[in-house]
Amino acid sequence: MQIAIMGAMVEEITPLLEYFNHYETVEFAKNKYYLTSYKGLDIVLAYSKIGKVNASLTAATMIERFGAQKLLFSGVAGAVNPTLKIGDLIVATKLAQHDLDITVFGHPYGYVPEGAVYVESDRGLLALAKSVAERKKLYVQEGIIATGDQFICDVDKKEWIEKTFNADALEMEGASVAVVCDALQIPFFVLRAISDAADMDAGFSFDEFLNSSAKISAEFIIAMLDEMVHD
Ligand code: 3QA
């Protein structure tokens, strides 16, 4: 089984690279892909660089060029749902692109013809996350993640995303990865630990908590890999 693990920023995959320790580096399309194996699982690891376009390229590359059969995204997110605090984990049940707008033609926000507003995560991976959370006595909230090519640091924008997509958290890559995986029929899921509340203080909060929250997410991914080894 070849498993892809991706983040957007180097900080989001550094805890995983440090954990795996030995890996081979392959360069492709102006990016680096790290190949390793963990307890018999073949792993391709990469950070895409920020945003939907970069994330799409990386997800497609991991699947088409490196043969990934499942994709796990690990990283940080801005909280929309006020129950989510710094360091809390959220796993996406479904994801939408909040910056996609052809509403003048009568379509809903986030929709393009032949697409869908929401792409759903793989149920098997969600179930796996749930059982790992129970075993580790960790709380992982399930919810809707909204994605767009903007760092949100404004309460009005955040509230618009909340009411338009019923979103619980927001970030800049998840939904694009979801579209790619859905099209290529690869089970995926997106896990994020909260780094900020997408408000006025988001920039400072993000800088302060990027590393610690990225680590919380990465550690949960490793616990999931440990569980995958057994099936
Ligand atoms: C944005 C990163 C991008 O990959 C999306 C973090 C956390 N809080 C967010 C928010 N709005 C949107 N997304 C997020 N990630 C950071 S850009 C800063 C780069 O600094 C999730 C995310 N409020 C690099 C140093 O110059």
- Supply the mean pLDDT for the chain: 97
Q: pLDDT band at residue 21, thresholds of 50, 70 and 90?
A: confident
Q: Is 148 in the pocket of ligand 1 (CB under 6 A)?
A: no
| Position 231 pLDDT exceeds 70 | no
Nearest CA to 77 out of 63, 65, 67, 87 is that of 87
Rounded to whole angstroms, how far apart are CA atoms 159 and 140?
A: 23
| pTM, 2 dp | 0.97
Rounded to whole angstroms, how far apart are CA atoms 127 and 52?
A: 26
Q: Where do the domains of the chain lie, and which CATH numbers do they carry? A: 2-230 (3.40.50.1580)
How many helices (H) and strands (E) the chain has is answered by 6, 10
For the CA of 172, the nearest atom of ligand 1: 5
Cα(96) to centroid(ligand 1), Å: 17
Cα(152) to centroid(ligand 1), Å: 8
For the CA of 153, the nearest atom of ligand 1: 23
Q: Phi-psi category of 127—alpha, beta or left, where left has phi over 0 and alpha has psi -120 to 50?
A: alpha
For 75-102, the pLDDT digits (tens) are 999 999 999 999 999 999 999 999 999 9
Query: Once rounded to an integer, what is the mean pLDDT over residues 32-46?
Result: 97
Q: Is 195 in the pocket of ligand 1 (CB under 6 A)?
A: yes
| Position 230 pLDDT exceeds 90 | no
Quote the pLDDT of residue 195.
99
For 126-180, the pLDDT digits (tens) are 999 999 999 999 999 999 999 999 999 999 999 999 999 999 999 999 999 999 9
HEC sequence for 68-106 = CCEEEEEEEEEECCCCCCCCCEEEEEEEEECCCCCHHHC
